Structure 1
């Protein structure tokens, strides 16, 4: 009898559960993936009319009959509007799919808009709207953002995805900063530190690089080189490639670097190498009221090339040559850092975050100088200690290419 009662109770529970499932309506307000238009990149430029912006939105659309689901076609729209929301509304009227903002990877700021200082209004929408993520990348375009997002790359990639790939692969050369929306907003809120953005530009065949273009003088490639410094939300000046590399060293952002020397020692030999690892530390010292910031940079480098070596070397001579290489590599790093520090002094803008370091280590002193910090930057003492160690000098100390 007990077994029968248990069986009846179990049957009743199964029927109740089945009844509940029948009346469930599923997810409310769901949107099928096939009905969405994933937004990959957005570009902001000044509009022709006062108070307007030229907003470019690049969507992804899967290719019909594509071999893989990753193949996408280009759907890029540009429209003049007074706000981001207005632009989305206008573009939604001509797309047959609902724009999805959560997939946005890159925001490109046009040079003219950055100089006007009005682009933070566009970013305000990006940080408030729930679908956007603060992890999206920010880049500054040389020229118009619309032109960058409209380039037809030879690889067939959409410019937004190519930019994302370049940024995420940037650790291999560590020659430009990676700036996400959240990081930019944090720096903007510190007041003392000047924001910095990597600079993006188009490259034509013959402009420092040669390649076969489908059409003569067609811009088919893009590159990230250098960085732009801002005062608050207004673009002020560009850092050169070397100045930007100095910034990367001082910010402890060098993961790997390709680095070359110009022979200055007795041997007149040039070296090419790769940074295996590096570490930058800083110390704020107080010598009887004289405050100084000292950077200590330690780098481990593998030598890939020895150029200009005219004879075979003994083991002792080879060790001496590697000591010379350490000095030459350290001098290259020192020069890049000094150029970056010099640029900071010239601009009167603390894009290196020296004030932030001083505040963390000596808040009492910082309170006395923070209101005049832009003037103090020009002559604030900064010292450098660069140490390089060669941990790998190639497979052989001799070569058949030398006499």
Structure 2
């Protein structure tokens, strides 16, 4: 009797398993990787016809003579269309592979598109279509986005991948902001903060640098430097390199930085160093019955270079020199921050997110000024407190020009 009941239970269990298998989703409608065209970059320029964009799409394709699947070439198309969906529809008529949007790394808006406004409509497609990810990077192009994506680089990299690599390696120098689609949309939602986007441009030999150009294809280089301030999706102005560096300090976005005091004219000894660690905190204080946002920046720096040291220093003299270096580095940081704050006051746009910090620290006070915040920006009191600590002063207590016994056999 027990045996029959056991057989019956096993039979019911097997039927249940088979029933479950019937309802499991499989790879129905799957597409093989070989049949897909991975999208790497999209660029937007102003089209010739009113209301249109010149949309450049850069896809990857494996090299035919490559022994590994990691080597890729680009396949780039430029199509004039009034919307992103229309551009992809036109592209689908000529490409032999199905475009795959989930691999998109970077979206580039040209300077002209940013000044004309309206590119948020293009981003609407990127945030609604399921294949797109909000982790893609957004950048502004000096000149045309099409030219950036068609640029032949000396490194041999595809431009979209070169921009991605430059952005992801940006923590080592921390001189431009990193903006992903998700972050940009979040900033738009705050209303009080003006969006800011990093700027990419092509660099030819002789423009701030010299390099041996390839005579065959006139290969060049790509540089990401400075940033553009937006009102919604309209470019208002570009920040200088110094103003962008100030933004990075104030936004607590400095991971590592190369920093020098060469521009401080009052000092004969100049220092060069590397930021090891930096942290920026914010306080809302009352100063003379007026509210004030105070930035507190604490930074540790390693000295890499000393210029203009004329004599061998004693122990106490070396300690005093290190203290002088701390003051000089602090002056450079203050100067960069002040230039960024000055730019914000001139533009009347809160790209530094001061209103956001006030709301976080004192929400009750923020409610009293948020409706008039753009009028308040120009006169709102901001102070900066910078503390620099030298944690490594180098392996020598003298200059290379006056070594006494050091490094000798």
Q: Which of the five TM-score ranges fits, normalised by the shorter chain?
A: over 0.9
Q: Distance in 1 between matches of 2:177 and 2:307?
A: 30
Shift of 1:23: 12
Query: Cα 1:351–1:60, aligned 2, differ >3 Å: closer, same or farther?
Result: same
Shift of 1:316: 1.0
Q: Distance in 2 between matches of 1:91 and 1:338?
A: 48
Q: Distance in 2 between matches of 1:10 and 1:370?
A: 69
The answer to whether the 8 A contact 2:310-2:399 is kept is: no
Give 1:249-264 correspondences, 5 Å limit.
249-262=249-262, 264=264
**What secondary structure sits across from 1:132 in the alignment?**
coil
Aligned partner of 1:283 in structure 2 is 283
Aligned partner of 2:318 in structure 1 is 318
The answer to whether the 8 A contact 2:306-2:399 is kept is: no
Aligned partner of 1:64 in structure 2 is 64
Aligned partner of 1:383 in structure 2 is 383
Query: Cα 1:400–1:80, aligned 2, differ >3 Å: closer, same or farther?
Result: closer
| Cα deviation 1:327-386 (Å, max 9, x = unaligned) | 000000000000000000000000001111112222333233222222211111100100
Give 1:138-287 correspondences, 5 Å limit.
138-215=138-215, 218=218, 220-262=220-262, 264=264, 268-287=268-287
The answer to whether the 8 A contact 1:348-1:375 is kept is: yes
Report the more deviating stretch, 131-140 or 287-296.
287-296
Shift of 1:118: 1.0
Query: Cα 1:27–1:386, aligned 2, differ >3 Å: closer, same or farther?
Result: same
Aligned partner of 1:368 in structure 2 is 368
Q: Distance in 2 between matches of 1:280 and 1:289?
A: 25
* Structure 2: unaligned runs, 5 residues or longer: 404-409
Q: Distance in 2 between matches of 1:89 and 1:194?
A: 33
Q: Distance in 1 between matches of 2:178 and 2:47?
A: 28
**What secondary structure sits across from 2:220 in the alignment?**
strand
Aligned partner of 2:398 in structure 1 is 398
Query: Cα 1:356–1:401, aligned 2, differ >3 Å: closer, same or farther?
Result: same
The answer to whether the 8 A contact 2:280-2:296 is kept is: yes
Normalised TM-score (structure 2): 0.92
Aligned partner of 1:334 in structure 2 is 334
The answer to whether the 8 A contact 1:44-1:108 is kept is: yes
**What secondary structure sits across from 2:121 in the alignment?**
helix
Moved over 4 A (4+): 1-26, 263-267
Q: Distance in 2 between matches of 1:320 and 1:327?
A: 11
**What secondary structure sits across from 1:379 in the alignment?**
coil
Report the more deviating stretch, 355-364 or 46-55.
355-364
Q: Distance in 1 between matches of 2:310 and 2:197?
A: 44
Report the more deviating stretch, 260-269 or 2-11.
2-11
Give 1:1-20 correspondences, 5 Å limit.
none
Query: Cα 1:216–1:336, aligned 2, differ >3 Å: closer, same or farther?
Result: farther
Normalised TM-score (structure 1): 0.93
Query: Cα 1:344–1:217, aligned 2, differ >3 Å: closer, same or farther?
Result: farther
